[in-house]
Amino acid sequence: MPRKRRIAIIGEIHHVMSRGLEGKEIFRDDDDREKFLSITGKSLLDGDCRCYGWVLMNNHYHLVIRPLGHSLQRVMRRVNGAYALYFNKKYNRRGYLFQDRYKSLATQEHWYLKELIRYVHLNPVRAGIVKNLEDLQWYPWSGHVQMIGADKKEWFNHTEALSKFGLRKDSAQKNYLDWLSQGVGLEGEGWRVVRDTTDEEGVEDLRISGEAIFVKKVLMTVQAYQSIAALKLKHRKSMDTIFDSICKKYKLSQEYVLTKGRQDKRSEAKKKFCKEAIMQNGYSLQDVASFLNMNSSSVYRMVW
């Protein structure tokens, strides 16, 4: 059975997680962690994404984000892609760094969001990396440090996250710490609440965390997005048309642009074609790679 597509809606909160291939480490030292945070921070700011929680573990990471500008897919492709290129180059390795694609879960606000923030920030405690909640304040690779006022990252919207726990900063921080302490003993994904499916339709979707009415709303939004996307694809330009236009713009023959060679106008034309075909007309990496007789990873580097 084919897997369902991830749900990613601009304006909604999403729990995003990505794990290393075969459970292997994706962060080997603090320089790796700093690099990942630098890439993530720039990607979130450029994409106008709000971040309400985050944590880096040895072989995976969690983010709680609300995309407002760029799509979640676009932001996360940039994060995982740029970091994988850095990691492979640093450690002289090839192949995939992350296991499969990133996972995302659309999450309802209010109580569900508070549960999610708690689950994400308690990861180091549950994994035994730190002994208890008190020691968590010394773990620098989590949004918890900024929630209690000990650090500052421009891309982490800790003030907005704290507002879910109280109107005043001091009371919000106290309520946040109390909320975390109550969750220390919860096993596994204790934050995943049993949904209210008492409605006659029994709506439920594992890609969504929230009450039945929220699940319905998200699924209806996804259906509307898919209808619009299908209409756009029906009227998109053909790759031949796009390629011909790019070649004329650069005053190069199509045969010359398709040949391999050093970095010159030919490479710029290819990059322009890749971006227009993928980002403006919805063609996949594989579609463009096949058209240019290149591999998908090379096309990906051109786009980003």
**Amino acid letter, 108:** Q
pLDDT, position 190: 44
Whether 292 and 299 have beta carbons less than 8 Å apart is answered as yes
Q: Which residue has the tokens 């029994």?
A: 202
Q: Which residue has the tokens 């996949």?
A: 284
DSSP H or E stretch at residue 67:
strand 60-67
Which strand ranges, in their side-by-side order, compose the sheet holding 49-56?
49-56, 60-67, 13-19, 103-107, 208-209
243 and 177 together in one domain: no
Q: Is the residue at 299 inside a domain?
A: yes
85 and 203 together in one domain: yes
Q: Is the residue at 144 inside a domain?
A: yes
178 and 220 together in one domain: yes
Q: What's the CA gap between 142 and 137, in Å, rounded?
A: 9
162 and 215 together in one domain: yes
Q: Which two tokens stand for residue 221?
A: 């939004």
As averages over each run of 10 residues, the pLDDT of the chain (304 residues) reads 56 88 95 97 92 96 89 90 96 91 74 86 93 93 93 91 91 93 66 42 53 60 58 77 92 88 82 84 80 80 70
Q: Is the residue at 4 inside a domain?
A: no
DSSP H or E stretch at residue 158:
helix 158-162
Q: Is the residue at 1 inside a domain?
A: no
90 and 222 together in one domain: yes
Q: What's the CA gap between 111 and 5, in Å, rounded?
A: 26
Closest CA to 270 of 295, 297, 303, 304: 303
Q: Is the residue at 64 inside a domain?
A: yes
Last residue of a domain, one of 207, 228, 249: 228
Q: What's the CA gap between 229 and 238, in Å, rounded?
A: 16
Q: In whole angstroms, what separates CA 277 from the centre of its chain?
A: 22
Global confidence as pTM = 0.65
Q: Is the residue at 176 inside a domain?
A: yes
Instruction: Specify the DSSP class assigned to residue 19.
Output: E
Q: Is the residue at 23 inside a domain?
A: yes
Sign of the Cα torsion 181, 187, 192, 196 reads negative
Closest CA to 141 of 80, 57, 238: 57
pLDDT, position 237: 86
Residue 30, domain CATH: 3.30.70.1290
pLDDT, position 200: 42
75 and 207 together in one domain: yes
Whether 189 and 176 have beta carbons less than 8 Å apart is answered as no
45 and 182 together in one domain: yes
Q: Is the residue at 205 inside a domain?
A: yes
Query: SS3 of 14, please?
Result: strand
Instruction: Specify the DSSP class assigned to residue 280.
Output: I
50 and 161 together in one domain: yes
pLDDT, position 302: 75
pLDDT, position 285: 74
Last residue of a domain, one of 228, 246, 277: 228
pLDDT, position 110: 61
**Amino acid letter, 145:** V
149 and 298 together in one domain: no
**Amino acid letter, 225:** Y
pLDDT, position 157: 94
Residue 244, domain CATH: 1.10.1750.10
222 and 259 together in one domain: no
198 and 138 together in one domain: yes
pLDDT, position 84: 95
Q: In whole angstroms, what separates CA 139 from the centre of its chain?
A: 23
Radius of gyration of the chain (CA): 22
Domain span including residue 89: 13-228
Quote the number of domains for the chain. Answer: 2
Last residue of a domain, one of 170, 197, 228: 228
290 and 181 together in one domain: no
